[in-house]
Structure 1
């Protein structure tokens, strides 16, 4: 019989770790607003979380604890990635005129979108600390690590698909090009802040 307590605990912890606004979530929201490759972006994010959560629960957190320089390398690479993307977003907010009402408009290819999503996901050192270390540590108190991990993975799938497909509810607001420019500016500022925060974090 499935231990529902472990499942719910894993789900709640998973939601608490990914629900905060971050670079990855901002990117998923943006793709949802543009209706560009939403399914594949959400699937990539959820599967990436599933892999990391499974590794953390399986005990990979011990590896990062023993070799902390791996997290430092990811931190520097992530800071540089966020810096570049943040500057691009600020430039787009100033120079680009978006028209969300144009039918058939595709701004970014699937390949480029997935590469960007890869950067936001796998070059973010916090994701390793959250999934490999924290998730792995908390799972030690569960009677069934498999059930605990399943709950956390479920939370990731539900959250990312809800965020990606739920973004369409905001499309009327972003029908005006100016609103999209403001979003680009806010995303750019967020990316630059996260880049600064990663670079100066210990």
Structure 2
């Protein structure tokens, strides 16, 4: 009876969506690096997670309902997002590199320097929406959802579940590693790694845009 229940189209769509979402989201990209740093600073983490989760949920639902149609109708939209992403990631990468070079980190210093809740939430939104890889993921999700017909929204629910799970992993992980980051050296290493990730992503996008 249990195996028959698990084999229903609805459950299959949800499980497939969850597996797809984990495969797409469980990487340390721009959004993940930003969340980790804010979590280590214990700075507006709940608000940032909420913004990311709601944005992911909204765009996943829209992608399943027809994001491909939108990009087909507005061809320049993909290119515009790409160039905004290059600029945004480059700027944040340079800022991280400067923090690492100048040793302006350390847990206490970072708490003082953290922006307001509104600024942190806007940054979280920027790392989500100005990331062309995110939009590519949405197109992939929309394409895969087409094969689930009437259960496509359950597929979307599975992808949303995966998004929330990954965000919670980042939030919990940042808290667990907080004691290590009492030392300024650890912050410099983290900022250097973030700079490499951000500038590497920007360079990859730039190569695609040229």
TM-score class, shorter: over 0.9
Select the residue among 140, 152, 170 that pairs with 1:145: 152
What is the root-mean-square deviation of aligned Cα atoms in Å? 1.9
**1:65 Cα deviation from its structure 2 partner:** 3.1
Of the structure 1 ranges 67-76 and 1-10, higher mean CA displacement relative to structure 2 is found in: 1-10
For residues 88 and 106 of structure 1, the distance between their equivalents in structure 2, rounded to whole angstroms, comes to: 13
**1:2 Cα deviation from its structure 2 partner:** 7.5
For residues 166 and 191 of structure 1, the distance between their equivalents in structure 2, rounded to whole angstroms, comes to: 20
- TM-score w.r.t. structure 1 length? 0.92
**1:68 Cα deviation from its structure 2 partner:** 2.8
For residues 128 and 79 of structure 1, the distance between their equivalents in structure 2, rounded to whole angstroms, comes to: 14
Which structure features the higher share of helix residues? 2
Query: C-alpha deviations, 1:61-96, integer Å up to 9, x for none?
Result: 122134332100000011001111111110011124
* Kept in 2: contact 1:43–1:157 (CA 8 A): no
**1:101 Cα deviation from its structure 2 partner:** 5.7
Q: For residue 141 of structure 2, what is the aligned residue in structure 1?
A: 135
**1:145 Cα deviation from its structure 2 partner:** 0.9
Q: Does 1:84 align with 2:74?
A: no
Query: C-alpha deviations, 1:17-38, integer Å up to 9, x for none?
Result: 1111210011011111111111
Q: For residue 4 of structure 2, what is the aligned residue in structure 1?
A: none
For residues 137 and 2 of structure 1, the distance between their equivalents in structure 2, rounded to whole angstroms, comes to: 18
Of the structure 1 ranges 39-48 and 61-70, higher mean CA displacement relative to structure 2 is found in: 61-70
Q: For residue 51 of structure 1, what is the aligned residue in structure 2?
A: 58
**1:165 Cα deviation from its structure 2 partner:** 2.5
Q: Does 1:197 align with 2:204?
A: yes
Q: For residue 34 of structure 1, what is the aligned residue in structure 2?
A: 41
Q: Does 1:171 align with 2:178?
A: yes
* Kept in 1: contact 2:106–2:185 (CA 8 A): no
Q: For residue 67 of structure 2, what is the aligned residue in structure 1?
A: 60
